[in-house]
Amino acid sequence: MRKVLLLSMLLLIVLTGFAAREITICWASWPPADALLALSEEFTEKTGIKVNGLFVPWGQFMDKVSVEFAAKSPTIDILIADSQWLGWLVEGNHIMKLNDWIKELGINLNDFYPNLLQYYGEYPFGSGNYYGLPCETDAEILIYRKDLFEDPKEKAAFLKKYGYELRPPRNLFEMRDIAEFFTRPEQNLYGIATKFSKDYDVVTWDFGWALWNFGGDYWNPNTLQVKGIVNSAQSVAALEFYKSFVNFAPPGAATYSFDEVNTAMQTGLVAMAIQWAAFAPGFVDPEVSKTFDKVAFMALPPLIEGDPNTAYVPLGGQGIVVSNYSDAKEEVKEFLKWFYTPEIQEKWALYGGLTSFKPVVEDPKFVEMYPWNQALKDSIPRLKDAWNIPIYAKLLTVTQENLNAVIAGTLEPREALMKIAEEHEKILKEAGYK
């Protein structure tokens, strides 16, 4: 009798398990993902649909997703995908075109910034086919030590040495001067921490900031020309400039990825840091940072103050895309409907997500919310992205390795860019783009 009881209970559990409506969100394993999961509890309360998280380390995020999709696995319903993945996701037929849903759910595309909608969702560019919507709009921002910048003694010394006032940098060269000024190994202080590592995509995007603002680029997205662009005089100048930061960075900076840049700033090792806005909360948290009350945030400076063509900011973050293999499409639809409302988007921002939903961002409340929101808001219209074609990963590997070699001092900038150009041409040709 007890056996029967036990069995029927088990059956009940299994049955209810099957009956429960749930969706799984796949994202990199990092704090915004946990924040989204926490926010989703409200969605569960409202609809009864449970939200699960499948969060993967950054280094294996793409590997994992591609494996799941290659297996046509229904595990993933919603994927928060890097903007560059759009190509392979669409061409592999892994994700849904969302145009019909957008219409049906009444999502107003004017609520998004056009450059972001394009980078996170439109494929190919200009086609009007939307596969994704902005979710986490990340931008590289500058974190600096305001206590050092405002110290009268430092100000006087800086003025004497450089002939102008020490202030939050207004252009790239001021930034380099400041970095040089604060590089004092004997005091265990260095000028700048930025992501030089070959980890994932970090050095490619950090360098992108200098590259684009100097007038260079990784390629011409329209003609797919690489040679003569990534190794143009402007690009070489940009890399020479970017490389000079190595002298003002802490020893071992060639391996700096997300966490090392955080730690360098949090332990008071550097005066400035270039970091994704998603990591900003860690800089003002007294539990983890020694300098929590000494930092300020700003958008990255341009090459020439006031010239929008030299003021690009690397785009990071991810958009929401929907798996074709999902067996819970109705639930996903409800989730999107819930997520893209001003009310929830505002909460998303409060939970530590980076929203770019216009009604929220343009509300005066937004910049008051958190100290880094002004920097983020200033960056949004200036955001720029690189490749999004299916074979982007190969282009990325080559770029990462050669740029990191420049930082490590084993390759000259000109050589490295030449190598990148040649390899990229070869990859594009092999993939049938030329």
Partner 1 sequence: MKTKMLSDRGIALLFILPTILILVFIVVYPLIWSLFLSFTDYSVVGTEKPHFIGIKNFANILKDEYIWLHFQNTAKYVIMAIAIQFFLGLGIALLLNREFAGRGILLTLVLSPMMLSPIVVGLFWRYILDANWGVLNYFTSLIGLPKIAWLGEKEMAMYALVIVDTWMWTPFMILISLAGLSAVPKELYEAAEVDRASTWFKFRHITLPLIAPLLLVGLLFRTMDAFRMFDLAWGLTQGGPGTATSTISIALYRMAFQNFETGKACAFAYIILILIIGMSNIYIRFLNRLQKRGG
Partner 2 sequence: MKIFLTILIILIVAIYIFPLFWMVSSSFKTRVEIFSMPPKFFNFEVTFKNFRRVFYKIAGWGKFAKEVPSEFPRALLNSSIITILSTLLAVTLGTLSGYAFSRFEIPGKSDLLFFILSTRMLPAMVIVVPVFIMYKTLGLFNTYLGMVILYTVFNLSFSVWMMKGFMDEIPKEYEEAAMCDGYTRFQAFRKIILPQTYAGIAATAVFCGIMAWNEYVFALILTSEETKTVPPTIAGNVLKTTGVNWGEVAAASLIFLAPVLIFTFLVRKHLLRGVTFGTIKG
Contacting positions for partner 1 (CB under 8 A): 59-60, 62-63, 66-67, 69-70, 88, 91-93, 188, 197-199, 250-255, 260, 263-264, 267, 269, 390, 393-394, 397, 401, 404-405, 407-411
User: What 8-state DSSP symbol labels residue 300?
Assistant: P
Instruction: Retrieve residue 220's tokens.
Output: 């011409």
Q: Is 337 in the site for partner 2 (CB under 8 A)?
A: no
Considering only 48, 57, 228, 381, the residue that binds partner 2 (CB under 8 A) is: 57
- SS3 assignment, position 55: strand
Contact in structure between 270 and 189 (CB atoms under 8 Å): yes
Q: Is 37 in the site for partner 2 (CB under 8 A)?
A: yes
Please list, residue by residue across 41-50, b when 16 or more beta carbons sit within 10 angstroms of its beta carbon and e when fewer do: eebeeeeebe
- How far, in Å, CA of 326 to CA of 318, rounded? 19
Q: Is 20 in the site for partner 2 (CB under 8 A)?
A: no
- How far, in Å, CA of 46 to CA of 300, rounded? 40
Query: Looking only at residues 362 through 381 of this chain, which bind partner 2 when binding is defined by CB under 8 A?
Result: 370
Considering only 3, 186, 287, 432, the residue that binds partner 2 (CB under 8 A) is: 287
Q: Is 67 in the site for partner 2 (CB under 8 A)?
A: yes
Considering only 22, 44, 50, 64, the residue that binds partner 2 (CB under 8 A) is: 64
Contact in structure between 138 and 316 (CB atoms under 8 Å): yes
Nearer to partner 2, 68 or 217 (CB): 68
Question: In what helix (H) or strand (E) does residue 36 lie, and over which residues does it extend?
Answer: helix 31-47
Considering only 167, 290, 365, 434, the residue that binds partner 2 (CB under 8 A) is: 290
CB of 252 to partner 1, least distance (A): 3
Instruction: Retrieve residue 84's tokens.
Output: 């560059």
Nearer to partner 1, 30 or 339 (CB): 30
- How far, in Å, CA of 134 to CA of 83, rounded? 9
CB of 47 to partner 1, least distance (A): 33
CB of 29 to partner 2, least distance (A): 4
For residue 382, give the nearest of 309, 280, 318, 319 by alpha carbon.
309
Please identify, among the stretches 51-59, 205-213, 220-228, 411-419, the one whose residues bind partner 2 according to the rule CB under 8 A: 51-59
Q: Is 99 in the site for partner 2 (CB under 8 A)?
A: no
Contact in structure between 202 and 195 (CB atoms under 8 Å): yes
Nearer to partner 1, 221 or 390 (CB): 390
- How far, in Å, CA of 273 to CA of 311, rounded? 18
